[in-house]
Amino acid sequence: MDNIMQEQTEREHKLAELIVKSLNLEDVEPDEIQPEEPLFGDGLGLDSIDALELALAISKTYSIQLKAEDDGVQEAFATLRSLDAYIVAQGG
């Protein structure tokens, strides 16, 4: 895995800020979340409880519904970039 820093888009940065704020990630700055870094497991280290809290925050912020059983939702939560793309695709 390379250590090349990837640039966040403006939308991704706002989403990263929402992730940090809604999950109270005190040791993480929004700029530190790499767009292609996994959000769960070995990446940012989020868990299923974080996913629920984040889905609620995204629903409130972007006025879209995220349901675990919906097509593509699990894949959407893979990275910051995929989550942003999913939100855009849902009209958020």
Rounded to two decimals, what is the model's pTM?
0.89
- pLDDT the model gives residue 67: 80
Q: Token pair of 83, please? A: 């989550």
* Model confidence pLDDT, tens digit, residues 70-85: 888 889 999 999 999 9
Give the C-alpha separation, 58 to 92, whole Å: 9
Ordered structural domains, the chain, with CATH: 10-26+44-89 (1.10.1200)
What radius of gyration do the chain's Cα atoms show? 12
Give the C-alpha separation, 36 to 4, whole Å: 11
